[in-house]
Amino acid sequence: GVTKRHHTFFEMLGNFSFGDYFKEDAILWAWELSTKEYGLDPSRVWVSVFREDTEALALWRDVVGVPEDHIQRLDEKDNFWASGATGPCGPCSELYYDFFPERGTEGASLADDDDRFIEFYNLVFMESNRSAQGELTPLANKNIDTGMGLERMAQILQGKRNNYETDLIFPIIAKAAELAGVDYFECDEKIQTYLKVIGDHTRAVVYLISDGVTPSNIGRGYIVRRLLRRVVRCARLVGVRGEDAFTPIVAQVAIDLSPECDPAVAGAAARVLGEMEREEKRFVQTLERGETLLEEMLTQALKDNTGLSGLNAFTLYDTFGFPVEITEEVAAERGVGVDMEGFNKALQAQRKMSQAAQGSVDMTAGSTLAEVADLLGSGTDFLGYDTLLSEATVQA
């Protein structure tokens, strides 16, 4: 909800090629889809390429006809894609839509200007394999992996300020605003952000629970729990009150929007709504325990004539899911300051630990997958171009 275009759940459009068409066809078809099928003005489409990918640059400039001042070379951070620390990887090329072409080309930056440009289509040219030692070797069969964000394309085609105000998410936001007794478009930026979080997270939780993921303290279930609890916290912050559970009401809107995306969601509606209601009621009890602990902390802070430490504020946030904004508000009412610098340091430390864990995944599984592939040979044929069903034998 903080940025205009990032989500916990999003719908991805795209296509793959395994050893069939490659860079030139992927580029030509992406341009055709964007400018002819979707009707985007070609003069408002910019392109990025990996700094060393002169082939892609030449294709965009000389074959497609994109002006060179609308093509930018970017580094690995933006234009080199990998499935993990090891495994298949390669350069990519991205298409951006320009919301403000009147600003001209001088000084324009696809990498830094999120206000002017939105990246809506990514073409990944999978041509290498990265070993655990960081060495790149050519893939026997080069692959194509493309992705287009449905929400981003909806924002462009519907002329909205952000993804959240499109017809994919805004009906959920509108229902939350109605329950809070506010008008989204008349709210300040902070309240709008809370409402966008409710819209985004509610949609994500609905689809996750529909797929069989239930709230828990481990694995993917923990993700569902954190998302759902953030919905409840944000609902309180925008002014939702009452004895009845809030989340099933907004979740029903997400379910009503789901048939064209996943018809199975409506069939799982009763289970989804039941899980959300139970989890919300459990969390409300947790919040109440957090409020009790906060009161004890504030009483001690007043007794010691000190502020509330950042560590205490983070404990309330991380362990009890207690919003730091509420902590600050309640503390201010008691005349106690909150060490936000200490809170932010603790939060950043937690995020760094999480990122470090993600970066350590070995996609080669210590060469085990390669050994299994060698053992089985190369007798697997891809039949997806001709049929959706086939019989097969799992050998390992």
Tell me the pLDDT band of 2, cut-offs 50, 70 and 90.
confident
Residue in the structure block whose two tokens are 């509330």: 308
- Do 140 and 103 touch, CB atoms closer than 8 A? no
Give me the residues paired with residue 18 across strands. Answer: 143
Q: Which residue has the higher pLDDT, 91 or 242?
A: 91
pLDDT digits (tens, 9 = 90+) for 91-118: 999 999 999 999 999 999 998 778 899 9
Is the pLDDT at 370 greater than 70, yes or no?
A: no
Is the pLDDT at 32 greater than 70, yes or no?
A: yes
Structure tokens at 282: 């459990």
Q: In the prediction, which pLDDT does 376 show?
A: 65
Q: In the prediction, which pLDDT does 362 show?
A: 55
For the beta carbon of residue 314, count every other beta carbon within 10 angstroms: 22
pLDDT digits (tens, 9 = 90+) for 191-230: 999 999 999 999 999 999 999 999 987 889 988 988 998 8
Q: What values do phi and psi take at 130, rounded to 5?
A: -100, 125
Q: Which residue has the higher pLDDT, 230 or 59?
A: 59
Is the pLDDT at 156 greater than 80, yes or no?
A: yes
* Residue 204 to residue 390: CA distance in whole angstroms: 32
Q: What values do phi and psi take at 136, rounded to 5?
A: -105, 125
* Residue 103 to residue 88: CA distance in whole angstroms: 38
- Do 140 and 18 touch, CB atoms closer than 8 A? no
* Residue 209 to residue 347: CA distance in whole angstroms: 28
Tell me the pLDDT band of 4, cut-offs 50, 70 and 90.
confident
Q: Which residue has the higher pLDDT, 29 or 288?
A: 29
In this predicted structure, which of 60-64, 187-191, 237-241, 386-390 has the lowest mean pLDDT?
386-390
Stated as kind and residue range, the H or E segment containing 82 is strand 80-82
Structure tokens at 280: 């919300």
Among 88, 89, 158, 68, which Cα is nearest to 118's?
158
